[in-house]
Structure formats: C-alpha cells, structure tokens
Amino acid sequence: MKKTLYVTDLDATLLRNDKSVSEATARILNFLIDRGMLITYATARSGHSAAKLVGDIDFRLPAIIRNGTVFADPKTGRETEIIMFAPKEAQAIGRCMEGLKLCGFVTTYLAGVEKKLYLEGRVNKSFGHYLEEHSTDRRLLPVKTEEEMFQGEICYFTFIGDKTELDPLYERVREGGNWTCIYQQDVYTPDYWLELCPKDATKAKAARKLKERYGCERLVVFGDSLNDVSMFQAADEAYAVENAMEEVKALATGIISGNEEDGVARWLQEEYGRSAAAGKREIRRRVLALRDGLDRTEQERGRLLLTERILGHQWFYNSHIILGFASCGSEIDTRELLQEALRLGKRLFLPKVTGEEQAQMRFFRVRRLEELKEGYKGILEPSESCEEYIYSEAEAPNTLMLMPGAAFDSYRNRIGYGKGFYDRFLADKEALQLRTIAVGYRCQLVDEIPADHGDIRPYQVICV
C-alpha cells in the first residue's frame, strides 16, 4: 500500500459528543501509531486546548491547529510553525469590523507570547459562555479599545454569537480579502462561530505540507463540518462520519460510523488490517519459497541444532506438559524432540483441527508417534478419542508450547499459514503466561512483520 498520511478532525469526528476520546479509540490509535501508521489531527482549536483533549493518544506528528494556521506539538500544544497576517491584511479586517458590535477575540503574539485579546465589557451570551468555560486560560487578555486588539503579530480572528449578529460581518469578509473565512454553527451549542485566518492557512494546505514533508503518496482525511471541506477537496480519500453535515457527506469518498461509535478509529483499524494482511501474504509467499528450497544438508543441520537448543532449554526441562506439533512439508523436523519428550515421561499433546464450517485447533495426548494419522492438510494428527488438553492456570508454569510458522521477526512477531489457529487458541491464555516458543529455520527470520491487533506473539522465537 502507498505510504499514507491520515488526518482527522477532532470535534464531532474523533471526539465524542462530550468532547472526550473513548477508551477504544485511544487504544486502537495508540496501537496503530506504534505500528508506524502516520496519523495526526486538524482542528480549529488552539494547540493547548486540543492537546488536553487527546492526551491519551500518543500522536507523534505535528498537529494542525487553528484550521491550518499553526503546526503544534501534539502532546504539549506548543506552536512550532505559525502563519501570520500581514499588517495590512489585519487592518483590512479591522475596517470590515467597523460599526459592528462584535464579540470575540484576536489571537496574537506579543513579544512571542500567545494572547487572546478581547474588548473588555463587550460580552454577549455566547461569548460569555466561552469566557466562563475558559476562565483558567491565561492567554485571554481584556483590552480597553478595539485598536488595542490589533497589537502584535496576529494569526487568527474568532467571533462568537447569534447568526444575526455575525451575518453582517460575514457579508463583508466572505468574498474579498487575502484571508480564509470559516463560518458555521458550533457542534456543541446553538452558537455560531466566524473565524478568519491568513489565505495560505487552511487545513488542506497544512495537510498537503505534511504529506510532502513525510514523503507520503496518499492523503486520507476524516471530518464532519464545513471547516473540513477544503481538506476533503485536497485529499486522495475523504471520509465523513455518519453525524457529519450533508454538505460534507456529499464530498466524501465514503461514510463511516459516527463519532459516538469510534468511526475513525474503527476505519483505521480495518485499513491497517487490510495492509497488514497484504504484507503478510507477500512475506509468507517469499519466505516459504526460501524454506521449500533448502537442501537436505541444511534441513539436517536445522534439525540437529533445534533439537539441541530445545532439549537444553530450561522451559523444556521444567515442563511436565509439552504442546508440540508434527512437522509437515518443509517445516523444521520436530520428530526427535517429540520422541525425547515421550522418553522423558512428559505428557505430550499434539494439535488436531476439528469442525468444518468453524474449524478450530484442539490438542490431544499422544503416547506413541506411530499412532498419528494424516488429517487436516495432510498433517499427522492424534485421534480425537484420546485425552484432550484442557488449559489449567495452575499447570501453565509447567507447560511448554512449540509453535510452527511461516515467518518470524526479532520483535517476536509471527506469521502462520493464514487460518489463525494458534492466535485463536492463545487469545484467552496469553495473559496467563502459557510458555510459547516459535521455531523454524534462519531463512524464516525477516526484518519486521506487520502485526495486527489480533496477533499473539510467542514468548520466544528460536530459528536455527
């Protein structure tokens, strides 16, 4: 899959209606980011405001804040790159404001320190709610006159109120001027917000800049509101959450589950799963071709080394129960290991695939290897009439499982043969410390395997 940058809006897209990140979304995104997916967010919020809300997610790329005006550190909210209004552009907006009793603030930098300047005493109901909600924000600074609001280096204008209060300004600024105008109703309240930022400051341009910076070939975005439109138009793929505005849905590549159903995280999880599955198929094909090409000398060397390593392993020595496997095809030969386990009096169980529509792997006891018969895919299996292995937490420290596989990496990730038998068998036992060692030849080691959330890693990998 092409190298991809994923950019999501926050409010009503990634965030739930109570402005929180769900536990599921945080867990999924942290897994995906840790596996190398390039994910960040784009929001109209300030860096500090956004960072507080998404603190449970380990975002690592620059965050796009103030609708593309600023790049910020996603963890601290500290601004790293800012697009400022030229003085003449800020003055032009000031002329558009003349005669209008507007409530809101100007985001500016005084001696390099961010401030939100607002006119003291000019507070409507909507802006009053904002000030109350942000009462601890030290950046908010009242000034005596409108002229004082235009101090410093200005990067953003924010006006809050009823639609009837803001419509006159919108009519003045929407067509002309070297700026971008965003006018929409707040997703949480009946209030309207009119925001102005420099012409080159949009979510779209910021996302494209990050796409180029990180060498990505594909840009995928998620959103719900009008300030996401430019980003939707610039993206290779754009997905609207179910609760998005109809105008946004009309521009979308597809509609995904809503913000209350973890729609963005679930879509990204599925995307990673598709990519991981494709990567695994290619690794499996390539590595199995190498394994199938080993000559008898290499196979015999592998068998001897593996037998020596496992028989000398403390886990094998201390285990009363061995969950092994009978080698099939070009798999490394385990027959001598199994014979030795029986000779030492260990209880040996081998896998058998049972069921047709929903096949599952179960383990049955083997007392003599000669009693095995060909079963699933021609693999030698025990009889279902034999004693079945039943997991016991008390016996887990005395049990060793040997696992086959197609490929392994140094992070202990494993690729099986595509059916997920071992992952499903171990899914409810991993936390209970069932000892597992995956075994194979050296040619089966690869640099990295794209592990999915359902993959269970063995505790050790031994390739000889």
Structural contact between residues 399 and 323, judged by C-beta atoms closer than 8 angstroms: yes
Contacts (Cβ under 8 Å, ≥6 apart) of 369 = 326, 335, 338, 339, 342
- Strands 237-241 and 254-256, by their bridges, are parallel
SS3 437: strand
Q: What is the pLDDT of residues 109-154, one digit of tens each?
A: 999 899 999 999 999 999 999 999 999 999 999 999 999 999 999 9
Contacts (Cβ under 8 Å, ≥6 apart) of 197 = 66, 67, 68, 69, 83, 155, 156, 157, 179, 180, 182
Lowest mean pLDDT among 162-176, 293-307, 338-352: 162-176
CA-angle at 89, arms to 86 and 92, nearest 5°: 155
Longest dimension (CA), the chain: 97
* Per-residue pLDDT band at 2 (split at 50, 70, 90): confident
* Per-residue pLDDT band at 340 (split at 50, 70, 90): very high
Average pLDDT over residues 274-280: 89
- Strands 153-161 and 179-185, by their bridges, are unpaired
What DSSP designation does 179 have? E
* pLDDT given at position 433: 62
The residue type of 52 is K
- CA distances (Å), origin 147, targets 90, 95, 98, 140, 322: 11, 11, 11, 17, 81
DSSP assignment of 116-174 equals EEEETT---HHHHHHHHHTTT-TTEEEESSTGGGG-SEEEEEEEEE-HHHHHHHHHHHS
Q: Is the pLDDT of residue 432 over 90?
A: no
Q: What is the pLDDT of residues 381-427, one digit of tens each?
A: 999 999 999 998 888 889 999 999 999 999 999 999 989 999 999 98
* pLDDT given at position 281: 93
* 89: region left, alpha or beta (phi > 0 left; psi from -120 to 50 alpha): alpha
Q: Take residue 57 and report the two structure tokens written for it.
A: 């997610």
Mean pLDDT of the chain: 94
* pLDDT given at position 430: 53
Q: Which residue segments constitute the domains of the chain, with CATH numbers given? A: 4-72+202-274 (3.40.50.1000), 87-198 (3.30.1240.10), 296-463 (3.40.50.10420)
Structural contact between residues 449 and 407, judged by C-beta atoms closer than 8 angstroms: yes
* 297: region left, alpha or beta (phi > 0 left; psi from -120 to 50 alpha): alpha
* Per-residue pLDDT band at 65 (split at 50, 70, 90): very high
What DSSP designation does 14 have? I
* pLDDT given at position 349: 98
Lowest mean pLDDT among 20-34, 209-223, 261-275, 429-443: 429-443
* Per-residue pLDDT band at 290 (split at 50, 70, 90): very high
Among candidate residues 49, 50, 72, 46, the one with its CA nearest the CA of residue 61: 72
* Per-residue pLDDT band at 451 (split at 50, 70, 90): confident
* pLDDT given at position 394: 87
